[in-house]
A = this chain, B = another copy of it.
């Protein structure tokens, strides 16, 4: 690995619907890709239920452990939307009306429509900065190194895209893929040897189903494009030496 200190991140997915299997999470992969592009290394992701004590404890554990923490889910107006209040409790600050969110809501909702439930969405931990929601109403927010986003993928994506420019990462991660129809068991020895000579390139071997038969994607990731190119060339040469034609991406 590079000598440069990694900028690290964790994603905390909050929601019973993910843990019940009812909803397929799509936010992890989206945020993960975006972080790679700005040179932030995603070190962990967690999924936890909508339980106050759990959310508070885990937010405090993870915001201390990583440079950035991103939470998704639980910022709507209903009784099960408790993320925002829990973040306030985790930071030990009051949960108060954010004046900008309030003003935005007063403009948007007709008189009488801005009920108590909707006003919940205008609350943030005191001192938070709003994160714009380009799709619906509830804003996200940043509190210290914690970004709190919606759970609905389209909304979360809009929020993340809005703030990614302010993330301070290192050199972006690059990747190369060498595809082959050789078996992993045939590739393993040579691949391990190449990996042992490149400590700044992370080489992963991922079997995939391709038209009903197994294939393997050999994925090289690293921050130095030149080193990556050389390592990918070695991997492709190894595949050729084993009698297959590599598919390079």
Contacts and interface: CB of A to CB of B under 8 A. Distances in A.
Nearest to A11: B47
Contacts of A80: 195, 203-205
Contacts of A118: 185, 188
B44 A203 contact: no
How many chain A residues sit at the interface, stated as a range, is 35 or more
A18 B192 CA distance: 21
A21 B17 contact: no
A238 interface: no
Interface string A166-177: 000000010100
B115 A16 contact: no
A207 B31 CA distance: 20
Interface SS of chain A: helix, strand, loop or mixed? mixed
Contact of A21 (B16, B29, B207): B29
A2 interface: no
Given A77-B184, A189-B115, A219-B17, A47 B24 contact: no
A37 to B, nearest CB: 9
A78 interface: yes
30 contacts: A15-B204, A16-B202, A17-B204, A18-B45, A19-B32, A19-B44, A19-B45, A20-B32, A20-B33, A21-B29, A21-B30, A21-B36, A25-B29, A28-B47, A43-B49, A44-B46, A44-B47, A46-B47, A79-B195, A79-B205, A80-B195, A80-B204, A81-B205, A115-B188, A117-B184, A117-B192, A136-B207, A137-B185, A152-B207, A152-B208
Interface of A: 15-26, 28-36, 42-50, 76-81, 113, 115-118, 120-121, 136-137, 152, 154, 173, 175, 184-189, 191-192, 195-196, 202-209, 214, 219, 221
